[in-house]
């Protein structure tokens, strides 16, 4: 069965850098940025190492509702 290709998008200006989404993404599709957003947080961003499979877990745990996931 072909793996589902999805795209995760983080609104970096809303992100508080709590890293919950990174901990809950069991696919390694999110990482902490090296840069800071306007509030001074290391925001979450898509990882280049792994692909998002669209499980939506990150959107469920994000307290700032900063994540959207798009399917193919
Ligand atoms: S939707 Fe699932 S696989 Fe994709 S980034 Fe969020 S937790 Fe990871
Ligand atoms: S869970 Fe939300 S606020 Fe926390 S790091 Fe991820 S995107 Fe940012």
CA of 61 to the centre of ligand 2 (A): 8
Q: Regarding beta strands 7-10 and 30-32, do their DSSP bridges make them parallel or antiparallel, or are they unpaired?
A: unpaired
**In angstroms, what is the span from residue 36 Cα to ligand 1's centroid?**
22
Q: Residue 5: pLDDT band by 50, 70, 90 thresholds?
A: confident
6 near 71, Cβ under 8 Å? Answer: yes
Model confidence over 8-61: pLDDT tens digits? Answer: 999 999 999 999 999 999 999 999 999 999 999 999 999 999 999 999 999 999
pLDDT score at 17: 98
Per-residue tokens: 66: 């900063």
What is the model's pTM? Answer: 0.93
Give the C-alpha separation, 67 to 15, whole Å.
Answer: 9
In a domain, 1, yes or no: no
Judge whether 35 lies within some domain. yes
Atom 8 of ligand 1: nearest residue by CA position: 25
Q: Give the domain extent around 62.
A: 7-70
Beta strands in 1-72 (DSSP E): 7-10, 30-32, 44-46, 67-70
CATH code for position 47: 3.30.70.20
């Amino acid at each position: 069965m072909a793996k589902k290709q999805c795209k995760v998008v983080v609104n970096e200006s809303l992100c508080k850098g709590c890293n919950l989404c990174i901990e809950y993404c069991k696919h390694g599709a999110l990482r902490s940025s090296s840069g800071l957003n306007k509030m001074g947080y290391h925001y979450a961003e898509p990882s280049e190492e792994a692909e998002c499979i669209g499980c939506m877990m990150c959107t469920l745990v994000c307290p700032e509702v900063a994540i959207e996931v798009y399917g193919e």
